């Protein structure tokens, strides 16, 4: 019985040694792959730094001014002024998608109201002045 126990222990030690050997090489392969990825990241960061430096060099205001002066006849570029910008009210938004009317002719949609049966107020339009009571002239 004792030799069988020694044989089993030897087999377990050999199996564990084989497992440790494989894990060691797998770990080394993963470390090599990680170092390769880190080298690639470092190279890409260096390239990104060079590209940012080139972008800053090409977008220097004095260089752009020279290009505008050289190509003024062809491009007709002029400096940007503050009155060329608009506000959010100047943006034309697309109209909202309305649902298709139902096929049934008997169906009638109720009018939305929040004034106990009175029609809803008209929406405010920018640039449209609503006359007030103070603006009216007294009637004689």
- The size of the chain, in residues, is 140
pLDDT score at 78 = 79
pLDDT score of 11 more than 50:
yes
Q: How many CB atoms lie within 10 A of CB 9?
A: 10
Provide the residue ranges of all domains of the chain, joining segments of one domain with +. 2-72
How large is the C-alpha radius of gyration of the chain?
40
Write the secondary structure of the chain as one string of H (helix), E (strand) and C (coil).
CHHHHHHHHHHHHHHHHHHHHHHHHHHHHHHHHHHHHHHHHHHHHHHHHHHHHHHHHHCCHHHHHHHHHHCHHHHCCCCCCHHHCCCHHHCCCCCCCCCCCCCCCCCCCCCCCCECCECCCCCCCCCCCCCCHHHCCCCC
pLDDT by residue (tens digit) across 89-123? 888 888 888 777 667 655 555 555 555 666 666 66
Mean pLDDT of the region 33-60: 97
pLDDT score of 62 more than 90:
yes
The pTM assigned to this predicted structure is 0.44
């Amino acid at each position: 019985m004792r030799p069988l126990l020694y044989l089993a222990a030897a087999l377990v030690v050999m199996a564990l040694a084989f497992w440790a050997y494989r894990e060691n090489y797998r770990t080394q392969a993963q470390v090599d792959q990680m170092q390769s990825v880190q080298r690639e990241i470092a190279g890409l960061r260096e390239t990104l730094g060079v590209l940012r430096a080139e972008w800053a060099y090409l977008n220097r205001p004095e260089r752009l001014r020279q290009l505008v002066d050289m190509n003024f006849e062809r491009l007709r570029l002029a400096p940007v002024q503050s009155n060329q910008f608009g506000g959010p009210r100047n943006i034309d938004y697309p109209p909202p998608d309305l649902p298709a009317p139902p096929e049934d002719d008997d169906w009638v949609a109720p009018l939305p109201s929040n004034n106990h049966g009175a029609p809803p107020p008209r929406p405010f339009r920018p640039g449209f002045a609503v006359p007030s009571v103070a603006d009216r002239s007294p009637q004689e």
